[in-house]
Amino acid sequence: MTPFTVLTSVAAPLLRDNVDTDAIIPSREMKSTGKTGLAAGLFAPWRYLSPGSRDPDPAFVLNQPRYANAHILLGGDNFGCGSSREHAVWALAEYGIRAIIAPSFAPIFAGNCIRNGVLPVVLDRGSVATIAAANEPVTIDLAQQQVEAGSQRWNFAIGAEAKAMLLEGLDGIELTLKHRERIAAFQRADRLARPWIYFSTQP
Amino acid sequence: MDHIVDTRRGRNDRTLMPGGQAFITETRSAAREAGITLFDVTDPDQGIVHVISPELGIVLPGCTLIAPDSHTCTQGAFGALAWGIGSSEAEHALATGVLRLSRPKTLRVTFTGALSPGVTAKDMILTLIARHGAGGGKGHVVEFAGETVTALDMEARMTLCNMATEFSAMTGIVAPDEKTFAWLEGRRYAPAGELRAQAVKHWQPLHTDEGAQFDAEIVIDASSIEPMVSWGTSPEHSIGISGTVPSGAPERALLYIGLETGQRLAGTPIDAAFIGSCTNSRLSDLRRAAALLKGRRVAPGVKALCVPGSMHVKRAAEAEGLDAIFEQAGFEWRESGCSMCFYAGGESFAPGSRVISSTNRNFEGRQGPNIRTHIASPEVVAASAIAGCIADPRELRS
């Protein structure tokens, strides 16, 4: 996973509430069992003029020339709600989005972001609107937990583990396997206390 | 095998969804290689995961259960901590047997009073989301509590917990009680005999202590709830069936759905009706819909489908003759699966259709490009199918 340290980019405003993962990538764009080849389907229902076509809708924010190289997305409340499909984050990451700034995120989506090197930044609605209106390059410094646009700065909160995983590009599985012994010990004790939880053979 | 499988009679690995067949065959060979039990396309136990896991007694009170599907929260109805995850977390769980997570915040939603006739768990959860927003749950674990919840049967509790994800909660949970324990008895993977006695003893104290502090509390008078129906493109865009599209409704949602502020929902013509999904496809759901459909006909021009949540539900419904009631009313009677709850390039309704649906999401394009979805209870779907327009099931009853 690519570490996330400091990112400077123009930020594309998509200030709608409840942007769902069906909009970020509709199921019909998830044609293979792999994680790649999804960027073309990103925001397909809004980005293209008609379903299934690839004719860009000039009104959609990512089709506007000034946001052509945006690596940051500005969103509304409850961003990424709906289906747990990780394809939504794979599509965003493959397209080049490395951070999303929004007033709140749906929990599964936020977890998927962190596991794919995409930083979800929570700032209040007013601050997101200010950043959108400033229309200047935005810098996100994860170590400092700070967003900077023009002359203004905002601090944001993020869990210590999520921060460490993003900063160092760590894989959660490796981190967890360091605790292999403790996990095994828990399972041994739990198997005795709650044997019905563990079906060892096919009934 | 639920999202991708075909639900038409005589199905096999072929599906109308692009890439669907490869998904099915790759899942089958990967499961075989890893020694994982698969409830395959033609398995008598096949069905929607959140329907078959309880049916088979896989979910149990006090267990931790995860699946890479957002509606895993359905199974919180059994007093399990059950929640949806992405693919990376699923990989993590398979590789390590555990997940890494921070302790979530807690929210208790207490429902008081009795539900009016014709009002269901679906209307309870839509009321909560309509009043407090689709983001209202903000990553909390939501305990559904109160006399109204205790009075619900297990299938209704599953419907209630199912849409916790539509409230942006991490999950929903209901304290297990005697109803829960009785429901699980004799199910294939549930403990039996001496082990069951031991388990029930362990399950009995799994409830919130009196005086426990939650991070947040919501109280809803359930007697004030009426059958709900959505008017827009988020589950928070829902109102009582006698209501009108509220002022201040987002223009984008109105444009998509083709309604105007102040317009009554009841009486809006529909093109299709769908009963199914992990929200409302269990035997009790089908029975309640069939009670309204019996001896009646779907309005001309309305495409109507019923897709049981599992093959077990399908067989049980057929044993009671529900299939005949649905078919005589003009509904298609399908094999089990997720079907048209979502669109993946396969089957859909006619372009631009307005669909009344017992599902959980009314997002833009959820059931197909430009399909306009109104989510509601199976009763509202059945009554609307008969009327040919969005209709109040209480008027049919009387």
Q: What is the mean pLDDT of chain B?
A: 96
pLDDT at B397 over 70: no
Q: Tell me if B88 and A86 make a contact (CB, 8 A cut-off).
A: yes
Are residues A77 and A125 in contact, defined by beta-carbon separation less than 8 angstroms? yes
Output the pLDDT for position A32. Answer: 76
Q: Which of A45, A173, A199 sits opposite B365 (nearest CB)?
A: A45
Q: Tell me if B369 and A51 make a contact (CB, 8 A cut-off).
A: yes
Average pLDDT over residues B15-24: 89
Check the CA dihedral B179-B185-B187-B188 and report its sign.
Answer: positive
Are residues B281 and B51 in contact, defined by beta-carbon separation less than 8 angstroms? yes
State the Cα–Cα distance between residues A77 and A102, nearest whole angstrom.
6
Name the closest residue on chain A to residue B93, using Cα atoms: A173
Output the pLDDT for position B149. Answer: 98
SS3 assignment, position A172: helix
Q: How far is A150 from chain B (nearest CA, A)?
A: 30
State the Cα–Cα distance between residues B206 and B212, nearest whole angstrom.
13
Output the pLDDT for position A157. Answer: 97
Q: What is the mean pLDDT of chain A?
A: 94
- Residues 28-67 (A) with a CB less than 8 A from some CB of B: 28, 30-33, 35, 45, 50-52
Q: What does the CA dihedral B391, B282, A20, A86 come to, rounded to 10 degrees?
A: -170
Going by DSSP bridges, is the β-strand pair B141-145/B106-112 parallel, antiparallel, or unpaired?
parallel
Least confident of A26-30, A83-87, B294-298: A26-30
pLDDT at A199 over 80: no
Give the architecture (CATH level 2) of B228-397. Answer: 2-Layer Sandwich (3.30)
Q: How far is B377 from chain A (nearest CA, A)?
A: 19
Are residues B372 and B352 in contact, defined by beta-carbon separation less than 8 angstroms? yes
Q: How far is A31 from chain B (nearest CA, A)?
A: 5
Output the pLDDT for position B18. Answer: 85
Q: Tell me if A45 and B369 make a contact (CB, 8 A cut-off).
A: yes
State the Cα–Cα distance between residues A68 and B319, nearest whole angstrom.
59
Q: Which of A116, A175, A196 sits opposite B195 (nearest CB)?
A: A196
In sequence order, the 6+-apart residues with CB closer than 8 A to the CB of B33 are none
Residue B350's pLDDT band (cuts 50, 70, 90): very high
What are B117's two structure tokens? 């006739």
Helices (H), chain B: 20-34, 49-55, 87-96, 121-132, 147-151, 154-162, 178-184, 193-203, 251-257, 283-293, 311-319, 322-329, 378-387, 393-397
Q: How far is B150 from chain A (nearest CA, A)?
A: 25
Residue B345's pLDDT band (cuts 50, 70, 90): confident
SS3 assignment, position B286: helix
Can you state the angle between helices A107-114 and A160-168, rounded to 10 degrees? 40
pLDDT at A145 over 60: yes
- DSSP codes joined into one string, B322-385: HHHHHHHHTEEE--SS-GGGS-SSS--PSTT-EEEESSS---TTTTSTT-EEEEB-HHHHHHHH
pLDDT at A16 over 70: yes
pLDDT at B189 over 50: yes
Percent of chain A with pLDDT over 90: 85
Average pLDDT over residues B338-351: 89
Output the pLDDT for position A200. Answer: 56
Output the pLDDT for position A29. Answer: 87
Q: Tell me if A22 and B364 make a contact (CB, 8 A cut-off).
A: yes
All structural domains of chain A, each given as residue ranges with its CATH number in brackets, are 6-170 (3.20.19.10)
Output the pLDDT for position A28. Answer: 86
pLDDT at B3 over 80: yes
Encode pLDDT of B53-97 as tens digits: 999 999 999 999 999 999 999 999 999 999 999 999 999 999 999
Output the pLDDT for position B260. Answer: 97
Other C-beta atoms lying within 10 Å of the C-beta of residue B214: 18
pLDDT at A183 over 90: yes
Tally the C-alpha atoms within 13 A of residue B88's C-alpha that lie toward its C-beta. 23
**B195's torsion region: left (phi>0), alpha (psi -120 to 50) or beta?**
alpha
A194 vs B: CB within 8 A: yes
Output the pLDDT for position A115. Answer: 93
Q: Which of B62, B89, B236 sits opposite A115 (nearest CB)?
A: B89
Percent of chain B with pLDDT over 70: 99
Q: Which of A83, A89, A176 sits opposite B96 (nearest CB)?
A: A176
Q: Tell me if B95 and A161 make a contact (CB, 8 A cut-off).
A: no
pLDDT at B255 over 90: yes
Encode pLDDT of B287-342 as tens digits: 999 999 999 999 999 999 999 999 999 999 999 999 999 999 999 999 999 999 99
Chains A, B: CB pairs < 8 Å: 147
Are residues B346 and B7 in contact, defined by beta-carbon separation less than 8 angstroms? no
Encode pLDDT of B193-238 as tens digits: 999 999 999 999 999 999 999 999 999 999 999 999 999 999 999 9
Q: How far is B245 from chain A (nearest CA, A)?
A: 19
User: For chain B, which residues make up each domain, given as ranges?
Assistant: 44-225, 228-397
Q: Which residues in chain B have Cβ-Cβ distances shorter than 8 Å to A203?
A: 188-189
Confirm whether B44-225 and B228-397 share one CATH topology. yes
Pick the CATH number of B44-225 from 3.55.40.20, 3.30.499.10, 3.40.50.410, 2.40.10.10: 3.30.499.10
Q: Tell me if B88 and A116 make a contact (CB, 8 A cut-off).
A: yes
Q: Tell me if B92 and A45 make a contact (CB, 8 A cut-off).
A: no
Output the pLDDT for position B4. Answer: 92
Output the pLDDT for position A203. Answer: 46
Other C-beta atoms lying within 10 Å of the C-beta of residue B182: 11
At B167, give phi and psi (nearest 5°).
Answer: -100, 5
Encode pLDDT of B257-287 as tens digits: 999 999 999 999 999 999 999 999 999 999 9
Average pLDDT over residues B357-371: 96
Going by DSSP bridges, is the β-strand pair B106-112/B216-221 parallel, antiparallel, or unpaired?
parallel
Q: Tell me if B62 and A116 make a contact (CB, 8 A cut-off).
A: no
Q: How far is A28 from chain B (nearest CA, A)?
A: 4
Output the pLDDT for position B119. Answer: 98
